[in-house]
Amino acid sequence: MKTSLQQSTVLRQDLRMNPRLYQAMDLLYMPLLDLQQHLKTELETNPFLEMLEPDEEEAGPDAKTEKQEATENDEQAEADWEKIILDGFQVGASRGEFEESEFSERVRVQATGLDDYLRDQLQMLDLTDRQRLLAEEFIGNIGEDGYLHATLEEIVDGVNKVVEAHREGPELAESEPDADGPAAKPFAEVPLFTVAEAEEMLRVIQQLDPPGIGARDLRECLLLQLLDANQQETLTYRLVHEAFDDLIAHRWSELARRYGLDPKAVQDAADQLAKLDPKPGLRFLPTDDAYVMPDLVVQKIDGEYRVFLNDTAMPRLRISKVYQELAGDKKKFVGENRDFVTQKLNSASWLIQAIEQRRQTMLKVMNFIVDRQREFFDKGVEYLKPLTLREVADVIHMHESTVSRVTNQKYVQTPRGVLPLKFFFSSSLGTTTGEDASARAVKAQIAKLVGDESVGTPLTDSEIVAALKAKGIQIARRTVAKYRDQLGILPARMRKRV
């Protein structure tokens, strides 16, 4: 077998995605707030981009104020443009004006977490170092929901391993930097913990705020909150303490017979549980401030729905004529410097085109949605029609993935509220008339049927199927049950009131 090098000519087609195409896809994906930040960054890094001032937009692209002409003349007379470009564009009128118009966003102060909140309370209790060490182990095993996610045996085993580890190397304890904590004490003479000590400490933890903290299950959490409210003598407490399984199953008649009461009295007592918090720790979770700014606006004008882009707060970009003329001087820049200037100019031109393409694509998509969902805007969610990304893509002659990026994380302000664009897309169900019904519209009709039902005789899933069939909607009972669960609606047996 002989090895050799050979050359051959092959003709083939490849699909290659350049960086600009990736960036164009990212621009389509960005919601309005992210796009504003992206353009701000581009203005700071690319000198060929500058903002179009509001007065210039109104006067026209060729109009200039006396202030702008004077500024440009001063720059051309005094600035060393070659030095500016080679130094990385550290000066420029467009960026200076932009920076002056920046605003500082208020930074939200970090809220106290659940662990720190519990530790602050423990510091106010008269506990020994040994007890504080055990309490720290408890806090480490309390989850975000406020429940204790370990057994007492596991907690004792965990804290004893810490003690044993420090017994083998007490010098580690003496060298730890946190001298205020219990872990900074020498452990050579600390006896191992017992389950009895853990039980005593659990009672201490469960007396802390918020009520219900440190519970091991829902029943214990509710009991702790009822005890904190001094309701241990009430029927509600007895129901939770003595008949929790029947309570959560809504067996009102059985509970009434058991306690010799009227079923309504039992039901009223159970209703008091709605005032309690089933997961007391969640209130301490950090919440991110979710700012929603609609990318599009739909308004009804003279009986017709019109679509507008909500981009008034987004900076309008244009190519800086000063830098563009400078880049056109081929004698001044050669080699790598010339390539760098050309790349920046091309990047600025392409970004402006990509932003305009994004605007036009969003308008096309939203205009089609408005035409398709006209009945929704007129009558409500029950009249929402089924719609898929492929249908939109076929009409506006774009790929389905492009439509997906346009609609993702985008919001539209409509006469019926601020809605995500994904709201208008849903699967279809068959009807007796041959037309399709939107799954979202069917869910709205199920919710309306349940909302209008008699509390004494709630509708079963089969009865909901029959009611929808009367309206021409063909749906299986298991589909009704699935939609009911998604809507958070209990079965008929558990919705029944006496």
Q: Which tokens is 424 given?
A: 């208008």
How far from the centroid of its chain's Cα atoms is residue 338's Cα?
A: 45
- CB-based contact 449:492 (threshold 8 Å): no
| Coil/strand/helix, residue 309 | strand
- CB-based contact 131:201 (threshold 8 Å): yes
Burial class (CB in 10 A: 0-12, 13-18, 19+), 243: middle
Size of the chain in residues: 498
| Dist. CA 381–CA 322, nearest whole Å | 53
Task: Give 391's contacts (C-beta < 8 A, 6+ positions apart).
Answer: none
pLDDT for the residue numbered 98: 37
- Catalogue all structural domains in the chain, each as residue range(s) with its CATH number: 19-56+287-422 (no CATH), 114-283 (no CATH), 428-495 (1.10.10.60)
Q: Which tokens is 384 given?
A: 């929402």
pLDDT for the residue numbered 89: 43
- CB-based contact 385:375 (threshold 8 Å): yes
pLDDT for the residue numbered 164: 77
- Phi/psi of residue 119, each to 5°? -65, -40
Question: What is 112-170 written as a DSSP string?
Answer: PPHHHHHHHHHHTS---HHHHHHHHHHHHTB-TTSBB-S-HHHHHHHHHHHHHHHHH-H
| Dist. CA 333–CA 329, nearest whole Å | 7
Closest C-alpha among 227, 255, 254 to residue 239: 255
- Tens of pLDDT along the chain (498 residues) come to 667 777 878 777 665 545 555 566 667 777 777 777 888 888 887 777 777 765 555 444 444 444 444 444 444 444 444 444 444 444 333 334 434 444 444 555 556 788 889 989 988 888 888 888 888 888 888 988 999 998 999 888 888 887 777 766 544 444 344 444 444 445 556 678 888 988 999 999 999 999 999 999 999 999 999 999 999 889 999 999 988 888 888 888 888 888 888 888 888 888 888 889 999 988 888 765 567 788 889 999 988 999 998 877 677 777 777 776 666 666 666 666 677 777 777 788 888 888 888 888 888 989 999 998 888 888 888 888 888 888 888 888 888 888 888 888 888 999 988 888 888 887 766 665 555 667 778 888 888 888 888 777 888 888 888 888 887 778 888 888 888 888 888 887 777 777
Cis peptide leading into residue 210 (ω within 30°): yes
Closest C-alpha among 84, 75, 20 to residue 337: 84
Task: Give 1's contacts (C-beta < 8 A, 6+ positions apart).
Answer: none
Closest C-alpha among 373, 396, 225, 197 to residue 298: 373
Q: Which tokens is 117 given?
A: 């909140």
- CB-based contact 386:436 (threshold 8 Å): yes
Q: Which tokens is 397 given?
A: 């002659």
DSSP H/E element including 393: helix 389-396
pLDDT for the residue numbered 397: 85
Residues 435-451 as b/e (b if ≥16 CB within 10 A, e otherwise) read eebbbbbbbbbbbebbe
Write the single-letter amino acid at 425.
F
